[in-house]
Homo-oligomer: A and B are copies of this chain.
Amino acid sequence: MTTNADAPGEFTPTRRTKVRRHPERARYDRQTVYEILDQAFVCHVAFVTDGMPFVVPTNYVRVGDTLYLHGSVGSRMMKTLASGASFSLCVTLLDGIVFAPTATGHSLNYRSVVVLGNAKVVDDADMKVDAMRAFVEYVARGRWPMVRAPNESDMARTMVLAVPLVEASAKVRTGFATDGQEEYREGTWTGVLPLKLTPGEPIRDPRGDRAVRAPDNIRHYSRPQ
């Protein structure tokens, strides 16, 4: 199990985070969990309102052992989470399609993280601005000093939630089909088609400064793999 100074140790699998289907795909080390979290943009948050489970995509940023969410103070999801209600979130990176010799052997290669917990509203103005800075810098390092910082109105309209990373697990599928050798037959191609979220050419906002070129880290955008 790889660990480093940034992410030492392991999550203790709980009854709720222990991976039961395909336990061989489970990862509980913070290093793996954090690497997955630090590569994606969108998580899916599940919460209960009026007895009904809802799922909403939203963005996030990890800072140390805390995950931050943000959104409108009027959002149903934000209000539910702010109330202290238990919720889950999931981050999934799709890495490829697995072409197997059998119909049911077909699969997807992926890396996913599930986080369970409760959120706390970040009320302290300095901490809230720090989280907002982290959101912007997560998208592109060096962006924060280039843009207008949140003003009072932005701050009032935006809720920031902190989710301590206490109960989490990752699930990783890699490689080819796991069908038995006897299933392979002549004439059928089997293998993996890799998939990757790829940036295109930056498109300039027609309202922006025409004299400015997109910074290098936007023109040659990359996420940690």
Residue A8 is within 8 A (CB to CB) of chain B in the complex: no
Residue A144 is within 8 A (CB to CB) of chain B in the complex: yes
Q: A195 → chain B, closest Cβ, in Å?
A: 5
Contact of A207 among B190, B202, B204 (CB under 8 A): B190
Residue A162 is within 8 A (CB to CB) of chain B in the complex: no
* A191 x B204 contact (CB < 8 A): yes
* A99 x B140 contact (CB < 8 A): yes
B-contact 0/1 string along A34-67, CB 8 Å cutoff? 0000000110111110011111110100000000
A contact residues, total (Cβ < 8 Å): 98
Copy number of this protein in the oligomer?
2
* A52 x B86 contact (CB < 8 A): yes
Contact of A154 among B47, B52, B103, B135 (CB under 8 A): B103
Q: A55-B90, A86-B52 are in contact. Are A191 and B211 (CB under 8 A)?
A: no
Q: Across the interface, which residues of B come within 8 angstroms of A54, CB to CB?
A: 16, 46, 88, 114
* B132 x A104 contact (CB < 8 A): yes
Residue A149 is within 8 A (CB to CB) of chain B in the complex: yes
* B221 x A193 contact (CB < 8 A): yes
Q: A156 → chain B, closest Cβ, in Å?
A: 11
Within 8 A of B (CB), among A189-225: 189-209, 211-215, 218, 221
* A44 x B92 contact (CB < 8 A): yes
What DSSP secondary structure best describes chain A's contact surface?
Answer: mixed
Q: Across the interface, which residues of B come within 8 angstroms of A59, CB to CB?
A: 108
Within 8 A of B (CB), among A86-108: 86-90, 92, 94, 96-97, 99-106, 108
B-contact 0/1 string along A129-169, CB 8 Å cutoff? 00011011001100110111110001001100000000000
B-contact 0/1 string along A175-192, CB 8 Å cutoff? 011000101111111111
Q: A74 → chain B, closest Cβ, in Å?
A: 7
Identify the A interface with B (CB < 8 A): 16, 20-21, 41-42, 44-48, 51-57, 59, 71-72, 74-76, 86-90, 92, 94, 96-97, 99-106, 108, 110, 112, 114, 116, 132-133, 135-136, 139-140, 143-144, 146-150, 154, 157-158, 176-177, 181, 183-209, 211-215, 218, 221
